[in-house]
Amino acid sequence: MKELRMILKKEFIHIFRDTITLALVLAMPIALVLLFGFTISTDIRNAKISVLDQSKDTQSKTLVNQLSASGYFQVVSYPHNELEIDDDFKNKGIKLAIIIPPNFEENLSKEGNATLQVINDVSDLNVASILNNYVRAVVQRYTADYNDNSSRGSAFDITVKMLYNPESNSVYMFVPGIITLIMVLVTALLSSITLAREKETGTMRMLLITPVKKIYIIVGKVIPYMIISFISTIAILVISVTVFKMPINGSLLMLLFLCIIFMLTAASFGMLISSISRTQVDAMMITMMGLFLPTVLLSGFLFPLNSMPMVFQVLANIFPAKWFILAIKDVMIKGSGFFDIWLYLLILFVMAVVFIIFSLSRLDKRN
Amino acid sequence: MFSIEANQLTKQFGTFTAVDHISFQVNEGEIFGFLGANGAGKTTAIKMMSGLLLPTSGTAMIAGFDIRTQSKLIKRNIGYMSQKFSLYGDLTVFENMQLFGTIYKIPRKELKDRIMNSLRELDMEKQADTLVDSIPLGWKQKLAFATAILHRPKIVFLDEPTSGVDPIVRREFWKLIYLAASKGVTILVTTHYMDEAEYCNRISIMSEGQIKLIGTPDELKKKMEVNTINDVFVKFVKR
């Protein structure tokens, strides 16, 4: 035990004497949350649009009013024909144009349906699809209002209810993602890089030639970085809750327990990486390819998993990040407890055990 | 009983034979030189003898322990210093020695005394709290040696301990080796410097994984009919 304490002390000395890295490691999570929070927002306000109203009746005007009252859109121009719409896209920077065909009110009252044409600027696919959804939402609300007021009643009464994230707030999406990234970067990347550094400088051989237990060398490497990434996680949570009003609907204890389990998984993945890499560059490349990219791309953090080809959906299952993000979203947003997420916890834990056994067997090889 | 006793020790990596049936004995307190060109198999042999690698066949007894089955006991009884300088640069002189001393389970108080004593021997007491990165290479090498013998091992393996340091420091370094040997520590040292080979009690010359020549420096010189070990080596390589 004394030896483990000594190795821990040595690791902490490494960390604290390398002030630049330490500052980076502590500042990075905070910078990431603030960056994501303030810049990468998927909520759009006051998008410029044009409306070509060919009916100019009461109902069409009501619809246009509702569109601009929604806050999502700002009608900047009322063109007279479709040629002018083209002009608006080029010169007025509109993102979307709506054409209300003639006899809108008449069609609506007599035939019970009316058409509406939406023209999108799809040079930015994300913005276009978000705006489309907004239009759809406004039209649905409008339809509901119309049905309430009209004597006819309705055959197409659609109601949409937003669950868990009523304001469609994108903070809810990226906070779990950033926590995952930080834990992966700090625990897996840093611990594997410093272990590889010891292989490069030859101090690893010095340690291996001593009678110290190999597990002590690894645990001594991993624990300090787990502590740092735990501190970072708490910093991220505090900022998310205070600055971005992210709710923590589940129990805080459950959340922290989940984070610790995932940290263990990330750390054991880091061990695995350092057991197969010889140099710091190896360790970096393997972490980037084997852990960082899958975490960003295949975890459902930025890109929804169920819209991916089947191959990738299956592939995503073998990376710990997917399970952690599922679990942390459940705990933070839905307020799930242990019995709702025990399966995710179990998967993460089993992954950690497998990684640890594999990397120990690699370090132990004397052949 | 011999301090080191290798018996048909062999290591193969795939089809490549790095160490090919070497057998030799080293007495207690002897300084044994391990010579050979790069890739002759010296480092692989040392790795096997220090318990880092399992031999493909053959065996060796180190301080009376079998390298196949008693590597834990061997590790307690040997010290090691490699060709690359291998203490932690961002730790102080004292912290480095404290780290390795603790790993070898030297009791705390005893450890402090031993560290201060060996720093006194090296005339480095003032540098105890200096970062290892900021002391000259020659001093680092001497420090690494002092650290390797801090736990009073029976055998010390030195893998090209003096490569890259100037002749004066090399001479001082050899004084330390003699001092340790006089206390009964067995030294197995590999080197590129032929003048250093003259300092050894006995030397062996390895080539292609095999020990081709073994004996005292004088015996080898007589056998090859030359005046220096350098000439022995040159003549041997030409043969």
Does the distance separating the beta carbons of B104 and A10 come in below 8 Å?
no
- CA gap B93, B83 in Å, rounded: 19
User: In order of start, what are the domains of chain B with their CATH numbers?
Assistant: 27-42+77-238 (3.40.50.300)
Distance from A3 to chain B by nearest Cα, in Å?
5
Low-confidence ranges of chain A (pLDDT < 50): 153-162, 367
- CA gap A233, A28 in Å, rounded: 11
Place of tokens 């009461």: A58
- Tokens at residue B11, please? 């290591």
CB-nearest to B99 from A10, A208, A209 is A10
Does the distance separating the beta carbons of A3 and B82 come in below 8 Å?
no
In angstroms, what CA-CA distances link A204 with A6, A165, A200, A221, B137?
A: 15, 50, 8, 12, 20
- What 3-state class would DSSP assign to A301? coil
CA dihedral B67, B70, B74, B80 (to 10 degrees): 50
Place of tokens 């190795």: A7
Q: For residue B212, what are the contacts with CB-CB under 8 A and spacing of at least 6?
A: B205, B206, B236
Distance from A24 to chain B by nearest Cα, in Å?
19
- CA gap B152, B185 in Å, rounded: 8
Chain B CB contacts of A217 below 8 Å = none
**pLDDT value of position B186:** 95
**pLDDT value of position A160:** 45
Number of neighbouring beta carbons within 10 Å of residue A53: 19
Please state the length of chain A: 367
CB-nearest to B99 from A6, A17, A205 is A6
Chain B residues interacting with chain A (CB cutoff of 8 angstroms): 50-54, 71-72, 75-76, 78, 80, 82, 84-91, 95, 98-100, 102-105
Q: For residue A291, what are the contacts with CB-CB under 8 A and spacing of at least 6?
A: A184, A188, A189, A266, A269, A273, A319
Chain B CB contacts of A6 below 8 Å = 98-99, 102-103
Helices (H), ranges, chain B: 42-49, 71-77, 93-103, 108-122, 137-148, 167-182, 194-199, 217-224, 229-238
Does the distance separating the beta carbons of A206 and B103 come in below 8 Å?
no
Does the distance separating the beta carbons of B84 and A201 come in below 8 Å?
yes
DSSP labels for B48-89? Answer: HHTTSS--SEEEEEETTEETTT-HHHHHHHEEEE-SS--S-T
**pLDDT value of position A349:** 94
> A 191-220 residues with CB below 8 A of B?
201-203, 205-212
Closest CA to B80 of B30, B145, B127: B145
CB B10 within 8 A of CB B55: yes
Residues carrying CATH 3.40.1710.10, chain A: 47-149
- Tokens at residue A40, please? 């990468």
CB B204 within 8 A of CB B214: yes
In angstroms, what CA-CA distances link A363 with A196, A200, A272, B14, B55?
A: 12, 15, 10, 20, 17
Q: For residue B90, what are the contacts with CB-CB under 8 A and spacing of at least 6?
A: A13, A14, A17, A18, B131, B132, B133
* Phi, then psi, of B209 in degrees rounded to 5: 85, -5
Q: Quote the CATH superfamily of domain A47-149.
A: abc type-2 transporter like domain (3.40.1710.10)
Low-confidence ranges of chain B (pLDDT < 70): 85, 239
pLDDT tens per residue, range A194-210: 888 888 888 888 888 88
Does the distance separating the beta carbons of A202 and B82 come in below 8 Å?
yes
* Gyration radius from chain A CA atoms: 27
- Tokens at residue B116, please? 């201060």
- CA gap B209, B23 in Å, rounded: 11
CB A295 within 8 A of CB A265: no
**pLDDT value of position B74:** 92
pLDDT tens per residue, range B173-198: 999 999 999 999 999 999 888 888 88
- CA gap B35, B204 in Å, rounded: 6
Distance from A260 to chain B by nearest Cα, in Å?
29
- CA gap A356, A130 in Å, rounded: 43
CB-nearest to A13 from B86, B95, B105 is B95
Does the distance separating the beta carbons of A203 and B51 come in below 8 Å?
no
Chain A CB contacts of B52 below 8 Å = 205, 208-209, 366
- CA gap A7, B3 in Å, rounded: 31
pTM: 0.76
CB B64 within 8 A of CB B1: yes
- What 3-state class would DSSP assign to B104? coil
Place of tokens 């090859």: B224
Q: Return the residue in A17, A209, A213, A216 with the most chain B beta carbons within 10 A, the one to mutate for interface testing.
A: A209
Distance from B89 to chain A by nearest Cα, in Å?
9
- CA gap B46, B41 in Å, rounded: 9
* Phi, then psi, of B16 in degrees rounded to 5: -90, 125
- CA gap A17, B134 in Å, rounded: 14
In angstroms, what CA-CA distances link A41 with A32, A34, A172, A333, B95?
A: 13, 11, 11, 18, 49
Burial class of A64 by CB neighbour count within 10 A (0 to 12, 13 to 18, 19+):
buried
* Gyration radius from chain B CA atoms: 18
**pLDDT value of position A155:** 38
Chain A CB contacts of B160 below 8 Å = none
CB A187 within 8 A of CB A236: no
Chain A CB contacts of B104 below 8 Å = 210-211
Chain B CB contacts of A203 below 8 Å = 86-88
